[in-house]
């Protein structure tokens, strides 16, 4: 909020308070604007006429007999609210117009529902994923993008977490604090490592972020190993050795393994640079499967992205699966069909597929179920909760999928036949139930 003065008042009925040393004013219900001048006040508590050079008093919230108020210029408050709405819902044009009208990007905006976490306009933009807007603001001359960057509280951490490299680079260039943390006290470097944002990890390492980690980089290294980002950390540690800096302590000798990878070849004869390239392509392919189309996926596969690699199916890396599992998880059914038709799919992808048949059956994608079974996928595949493909199809009333699975022998491997039969009866699909 624009320079608010807030305090609690504990009185029943009308409540009075002095505002910045001026005459007291009586307050009404939450949300009311109560005008006050330096000398006048009406007896009924409604307030005197607003003087042009006086701020207004606004009741922010009430909690029983506790009232919170703030004193601020009425015009500034209105512009602040309009700017907040424009950042969240509208475009660059509206935000620019409000800034030109005098709205301040340096004011504190609430970043949560409890008014405990605040930040400037840039923080608010990153919170609501208004990345193009954030880039525009960072390139402003008036107000200075550099000043905005230096005044943000969370933006750098959130940009690193989401892999927004152009924003992160601008923030670093403008002098933003690289020790920023998110609302859960996780550093920007840790967030980037947790999400496998290799390029962002590199930028932060280059700025010395690893030396600021409270645990010496142990947690960061754990996630780097998980995402196969050892190369990024290894190169950084090698530079530390060259410059005579201390290496951070990391458990299980992971640093030694990673640093050695810089100067040696991998066991399969692949050089470190080739491994880094392949890992980068794998990450890009994962993002393309989740967010992009067939064209982007094709281009990455042509460049050598590993079709047969295992991909994470959750943020913790506990569930992994093939590209087909990943595509069906994110309901990219056409893309899954396309991937299943690749030359190496039958020999490389299908054997690694763990959930695609179950998820496709659950969602009623019979053509995909048929294709996966034709290629040799296990008809007894289960979802992440241990439910079979046939059980899921029956629960959702997917008649065609259930028939396809039964024709492929799913009944013989089904351990929950009674439940499957009950579900089919519920959907009036008793003609589908096999004769036991």
- Average pLDDT by stretches of 10, the chain with 436 residues: 39 35 40 36 36 40 44 71 89 88 92 86 94 92 88 96 93 93 94 91 87 87 80 46 39 37 36 52 83 84 88 75 93 92 89 95 95 95 94 94 96 94 92 83
Report pLDDT for 279.
64
Q: How far apart are the first and last CA of the chain?
A: 70
Report pLDDT for 57.
43
CATH code assigned to 265-352: 1.25.40.20
Report pLDDT for 187.
96
Strands 15-17 and 25-27: antiparallel
Every domain of the chain and the residues it spans: 7-72, 89-96+106-264, 265-352, 355-436
CA 12 vs CA 15, 28, 63, 64, 66: distances in Å? 7, 11, 11, 9, 8
Judge if the upstream peptide bond of residue 143 is cis by omega within 30 degrees of 0: yes
Report pLDDT for 359.
96
Chain-centroid distance of CA 20 in Å reads 41
Report pLDDT for 295.
87
Among 290, 400, 386, which Cα is nearest to 373's? 400
Report pLDDT for 407.
95
Q: Is the pTM of this model over 0.75?
A: no
Phi-psi region of 293 (alpha: psi -120 to 50; beta: other; left: phi over 0): beta
Q: Do domains 265-352 and 355-436 have the same CATH topology?
A: yes
CA distance 47 to 29: 13
CATH homologous superfamily of domain 355-436?
Answer: Ankyrin repeat-containing domain (1.25.40.20)
Report pLDDT for 230.
55
Neighbours of 8 (CB within 10 A): 13
Strands 66-72 and 33-34: unpaired
- Fold exhibited by the domain 89-96+106-264: 1.25.40
Encoding tokens for residue 310?
């295992």
Report pLDDT for 73.
52
């Amino acid at each position: 909020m624009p320079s608010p003065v807030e305090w609690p008042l504990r009185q029943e009925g009308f409540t009075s308070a002095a505002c910045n040393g001026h005459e007291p004013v009586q307050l009404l219900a939450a949300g009311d604007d109560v005008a006050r001048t330096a000398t006048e006040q009406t007896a009924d508590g409604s307030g005197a006429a607003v003087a042009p050079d006086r701020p207004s008093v606004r009741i922010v919230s009430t909690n029983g007999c506790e009232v919170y108020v703030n004193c601020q210029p009425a015009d500034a408050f209105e512009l602040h609210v309009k700017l907040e709405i424009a950042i969240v819902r509208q475009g660059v044009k509206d935000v620019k117009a409000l800034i030109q009208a005098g709205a301040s990007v340096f004011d504190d905006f609430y970043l949560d529902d409890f008014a405990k976490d605040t930040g400037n306009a840039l923080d608010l933009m990153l919170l609501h994923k208004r990345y193009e807007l954030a880039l525009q603001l960072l390139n402003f001359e008036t107000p200075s993008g550099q000043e905005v960057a230096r005044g943000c509280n969370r933006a750098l951490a959130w940009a690193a977490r989401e892999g927004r490299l152009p924003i992160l680079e601008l923030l670093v260039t403008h002098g933003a604090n690289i020790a920023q943390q998110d609302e859960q006290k996780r550093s920007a470097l840790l967030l980037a490592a947790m999400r496998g944002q290799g390029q962002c990890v590199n930028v932060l390492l280059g700025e010395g972020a690893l030396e600021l980690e409270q645990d010496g980089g142990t947690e960061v290294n754990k996630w780097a190993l998980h995402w196969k980002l050892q190369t990024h950390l290894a190169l950084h540690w090698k530079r530390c050795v060259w410059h005579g800096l201390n290496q951070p302590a990391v458990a299980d000798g992971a640093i030694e393994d990673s640093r050695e990878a810089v100067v040696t070849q991998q066991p399969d004869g692949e050089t470190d640079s080739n491994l880094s390239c392949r890992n980068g392509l794998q990450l890009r392919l994962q993002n393309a499967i989740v967010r992009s189309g067939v064209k982007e996926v094709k281009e990455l596969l042509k460049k050598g992205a590993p079709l047969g690699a295992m991909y994470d199916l959750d943020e913790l890396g506990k569930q992994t699966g093939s590209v087909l599992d990943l595509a069906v998880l994110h309901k990219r059914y056409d893309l899954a069909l396309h991937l299943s038709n690749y030359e190496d799919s039958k020999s490389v992808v299908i054997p690694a597929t763990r959930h695609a048949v179950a998820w496709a059956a659950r969602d009623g994608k019979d053509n995909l179920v048929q294709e996966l079974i034709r290629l040799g996928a296990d008809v007894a595949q289960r979802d992440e909760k241990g439910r079979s493909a046939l059980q899921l199809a029956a629960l959702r009333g997917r008649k065609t999928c259930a028939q396809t699975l039964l024709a492929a022998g799913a009944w013989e491997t089904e351990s929950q036949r009674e439940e499957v039969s009950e579900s089919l009866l519920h959907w009036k699909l008793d003609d589908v139930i096999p004769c036991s």
